[in-house]
Chains A and B, each alone.
Chain A
Amino acid sequence: MPQRSGGMPENGGYMVAAYVAAGAIYLIYTALLLRRGRAEK
């Protein structure tokens, strides 16, 4: 794992990937649910 001179690992890309993936899953499900709601009305 790449290390900065200060010793903290440089793995911010994984953090961003996880936040984007989680956000995408929640947003897609919410959008699908709202679409089902509109279709049902």
Chain B
Amino acid sequence: MTPVESAERALRRAVPWIATSLALIAAVYVRALAFTPAEAAQGPAQKIFYVHVPSAWVAFLAFGIVGGVSLAYLLRKDPRLDLLAESAAEVGMVFTSVVLVTGPIWGKPIWGTWWTWDARLTLTLFLWFVVLAYLVLRGAVNEPERRARYAAVLGILGALLVPFIYASVYLFRTIHPMPVILRAGGPTLPGAMLATLLFSIAVFTLFFGVLLYYRYSLARLADARAHAAAERRDA
């Protein structure tokens, strides 16, 4: 099987998984909205949590992948690693956008303001701009090896923001809530809320994995086509 055929087959194989992930996200919506109790003090707006937190977890995962794979690219110079980093950055940016949209919608009724220049909010916005710069940089450099090297350096720098964003609620005076699962002493959520959150995290992680696979297969297909065209020109 040629690289083009292999990438095309991967694209076809991913489509049913995308449909499955979307159906599972619909199930998360139904469970969160209809079958999970609202928190007494915050009211229904607290349920934004079940979309906001899993999206933030996936964004962290995506940029962790960008950083790790970019570092591996600089060490091994394997172009597939560069394509994977590019794909993870693009998909991760979508999840970060959801975090930055749902956060203010949650903040308005609870904090009384859409936005505040709090450490966690500001660093997350900064990460979004770094990823935007990463994607713009990739579009601006034509020579593949140079593009991959520059992008890898920026990808690593962007990923370094992730631990700061996670730790920002401990390092700075902030109005953003503390973690409710990954904390010393275990999760603080009641059972039904915790079950919905874990279900949502699992579904959004699957959705991310499927989108990443599809996006990476797309990048591989374009790359394989470009190589095949170059070989035809040289022949």
List A residues at the B interface (Cβ < 8 Å).
Answer: 1, 7-12, 14-15, 17-19, 21-23, 25-27, 29-30, 33-34, 36-37, 40-41
Contacts and interface: CB of A to CB of B under 8 A. Distances in A.
A1 B179 CA distance: 25
Interface of B: 8, 11, 15, 18, 22, 25, 29, 33, 38, 40-45, 47-48, 51-52, 55, 94, 97-98, 101-102, 105-106, 108-109, 112, 207, 211, 214-215, 218, 221-222, 225
Contacts of B15: 34
A21 to B, nearest CB: 5
Given A1-B109, A14-B105, A14-B108, A22 B51 contact: yes
Nearest to A6: B40
B8 A41 contact: yes
B101 A21 contact: yes
Nearest to B215: A33
A29 B45 contact: no
Given A25-B98, A33-B211, A33-B214, A15 B47 contact: yes
A41 B223 CA distance: 13
Contact of A21 (B11, B45, B102, B218): B102
A21 B97 CA distance: 10
Contact of A12 (B44, B102, B105): B44
A10 B38 CA distance: 11
Interface on chain B toward A: helix, strand, loop, or mixed SS? helix
A8, A15, A18: which has the most chain B beta carbons within 10 Å? A15
A21 B105 contact: yes
Contact of A26 (B106, B112, B207, B218): B207
28 contacts: A1-B109, A1-B112, A8-B43, A9-B45, A11-B42, A11-B44, A14-B106, A15-B33, A18-B45, A18-B48, A18-B101, A18-B106, A19-B47, A19-B48, A21-B102, A22-B101, A25-B94, A25-B98, A26-B25, A26-B98, A30-B18, A30-B211, A33-B211, A34-B15, A34-B18, A34-B214, A37-B214, A40-B221
A38 to B, nearest CB: 9
Given A10-B44, A14-B106, A19-B29, 6 more contacts: A14-B44, A14-B109, A15-B44, A26-B25, A29-B94, A40-B225
